[in-house]
């Protein structure tokens, strides 16, 4: 069964291993990429990445079923860690076209799911802009160290425990 179609409760171990295996391939520092939010504000990703906290950069779509399923996990992870060691930054793209995100659709999703972490708008080309190669599927989460090094990638649903376990193992 493809990883993206599994229930989040069933992929914890598989996904943690997949993200851990990529940990040894650290990429260069924070990307200098500008994106807009749903209110028209312009943000540089290096405002969030490489500023002393772990950053989970999550690429998702408002109509993507696995993205919908993982969103509460990301919200909890961000809320539990934002004042200490980690944040989440979302980059919404359109699903299923992988084109530029629909601002109104993303704004409604953010309100309906009580998302308080930054959410920016883009298309599937965002992963190449940040130096992470071609987008392989939705959702995809990239994990950056507090210094801005890309050290983990996971395609498919992710949980807060998977992120916490990866960070703990990476720091030790």
Q: Please list the pLDDT of the chain residue by residue as tens digits (172 residues).
A: 233 333 444 444 444 445 634 544 455 567 899 999 999 999 999 999 999 999 999 999 999 999 999 999 999 999 999 999 999 999 999 999 999 999 999 999 999 999 999 999 999 999 999 999 999 999 999 999 999 999 999 999 999 999 999 999 999 8
Domain count, the chain: 1
| Beta strand segments in 77-139, E | 86-92, 119-121
Which of 70, 45, 42 is closest to 57 using CA atoms?
A: 45
| Residue found by looking up tokens 């391939």 in the block | 25
pTM of the model: 0.86
Residue 113 token pair? 């799911």
What CATH number should be reported for the domain holding residue 96? Answer: 3.40.30.10
The range of the structural domain enclosing residue 119 comes to 3-171
pLDDT at 84: 96
Residues 56 and 77 sit within 8 Å (Cβ to Cβ): yes
pLDDT at 30: 74
| Residue found by looking up tokens 């990476």 in the block | 170
Which of 38, 59, 34 is closest to 103 using CA atoms?
A: 38
Q: C-alpha distances in angstroms, 128 versus 12, 110, 136?
A: 27, 25, 11
């Amino acid at each position: 069964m493809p990883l993206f179609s599994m229930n989040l409760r069933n992929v914890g171990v598989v996904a943690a291993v997949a993200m851990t295996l990529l940990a040894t391939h650290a990429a260069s520092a924070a990307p200098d990429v500008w994106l807009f939010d749903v209110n028209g504000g312009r943000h540089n990703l290096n405002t969030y990445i490489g500023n002393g906290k772990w950053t989970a950069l999550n690429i998702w779509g408002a109509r993507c079923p696995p993205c919908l399923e993982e969103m509460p996990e990301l919200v909890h992870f961000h809320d539990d860690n934002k004042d200490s060691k980690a944040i989440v930054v979302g980059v919404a793209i359109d699903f299923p076209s992988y084109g530029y995100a629909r601002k109104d659709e993303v704004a409604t999703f953010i309100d309906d799911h009580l998302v308080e972490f930054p959410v920016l708008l883009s298309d599937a080309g965002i992963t190449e802009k940040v130096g992470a190669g071609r987008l392989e599927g939705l959702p995809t989460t990239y994990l950056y160290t507090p210094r801005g090094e890309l050290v983990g990638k996971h395609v498919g649903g992710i949980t807060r425990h998977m992120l916490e376990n990866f960070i703990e193992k990476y720091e030790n």
